[in-house]
């Protein structure tokens, strides 16, 4: 999340009003503990723009290799192969959109930016996926920076009171990284294991257009904000609590579908028409 308290707040609340009914949610998952690699990945994927918010990544090395006779059962809402069945927990239209997006890129990202707009990086702005990701950004970013916009509406784990980030000469983005750690097949069902929970505060450099770039020299030096660090640590230490939120399950499902789609492409499967 890269919203500044003094900018874009009216549009921020408008976005909240239009999306809040979808559910309060947010979590983030990361496969690698190397923050520098993650920052480089995000910066490369978004062409240098430093989003706060949510970043969903498919691992470059395939986690699945078995895709014989990949098809979709509309009635059961399952992706099927000769070896496994994967049960959708999101809508068919969301799954269709993720398969379409996977042909173009191996990530999904969403950020409410400093201009009061949103950066969606290829995701249609009127889609349910965009709304879910932006809710994740707004809710978790609010906890991460301790602004308290949602304090009357959202109960944090153990009634935690987020520490307030005080804007200074140095700016930070807070982002959360979703990924799948592995897949397994149990009784013919494909089960995804989420990677470990992680969240990061990253120093940034403001650009004239309102976007930010990661301050890579500061990242290399390990520059952090104590308040944001404490708040993101709280979220990571209370993973089970925040995973209960409905949109957390949705965003993790996006990571699962994205990984399946990218692995299928790596195996030479054409995704067109599989999920109508």
| pTM reported for the whole predicted model | 0.83
Cα R_g (the chain), whole angstroms:
18
pLDDT digits over 38-81, tens only? 777 877 787 767 667 889 999 999 999 999 999 999 999 999 99
Please tell me whether residue 249 adopts helix, strand or coil conformation.
helix
Please tell me whether residue 237 adopts helix, strand or coil conformation.
helix
pLDDT digits over 79-118, tens only? 999 999 999 999 999 999 999 999 999 999 988 765 667 8
pLDDT digits over 127-166, tens only? 999 999 988 888 788 888 898 888 888 899 999 999 998 8
Mean of the per-residue pLDDT values for the chain?
Answer: 82
Asked if 173 and 50 touch (Cβ cutoff 8 Å), the reply is yes
How much is the average pLDDT of 180-192? 97
Asked if 75 and 84 touch (Cβ cutoff 8 Å), the reply is no
CA angle, 17 as apex, 16 and 18 as ends, to 5°? 95
Position 47 scores a pLDDT of 74
Among 200, 169, 52, smallest CA distance to 112 is for 52
Q: How many CA atoms lie within 13 A of 262 on its CB side?
A: 23
């049960």: which residue's tokens? 87
């Amino acid at each position: 999340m890269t919203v500044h308290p003094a900018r874009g707040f009216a549009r921020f609340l408008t976005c909240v009003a239009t999306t809040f009914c979808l559910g309060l949610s947010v979590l983030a998952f990361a496969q690698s503990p190397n923050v520098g690699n993650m920052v480089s990945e995000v910066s490369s994927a978004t062409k240098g723009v430093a989003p706060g918010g949510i970043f969903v990544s498919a691992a470059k090395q395939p986690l699945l290799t078995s895709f014989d006779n990949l098809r979709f059962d509309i009635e059961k809402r399952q992706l099927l192969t000769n070896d496994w069945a994967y049960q959708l927990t999101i809508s068919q239209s969301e799954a269709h959109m993720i398969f379409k997006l996977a042909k173009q890129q191996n990530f999904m990202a969403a950020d409410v930016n400093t201009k009061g707009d949103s950066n969606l990086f290829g995701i249609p702005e009127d889609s349910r996926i965009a709304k879910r990701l932006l809710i994740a950004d707004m809710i978790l970013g609010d906890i991460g920076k301790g602004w308290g916009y949602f304090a009357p509406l959202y109960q944090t784990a153990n009634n935690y009171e987020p520490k307030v980030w005080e804007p200074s000469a140095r700016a930070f983005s807070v982002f959360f990284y979703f990924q799948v750690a592995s897949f397994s097949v149990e009784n013919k069902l494909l089960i995804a294991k989420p990677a470990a929970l992680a969240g990061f505060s990253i120093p940034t450099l403001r650009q004239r257009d309102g976007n930010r770039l990661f301050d890579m020299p500061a990242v290399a030096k390990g520059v952090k904000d104590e308040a944001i660090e404490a708040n993101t640590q709280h979220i990571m230490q209370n993973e089970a609590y925040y995973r209960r939120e409905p949109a957390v399950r949705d965003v993790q499902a996006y990571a699962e579908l994205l990984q399946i789609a990218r692995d299928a492409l790596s195996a030479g499967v054409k995704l067109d028409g599989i999920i109508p």
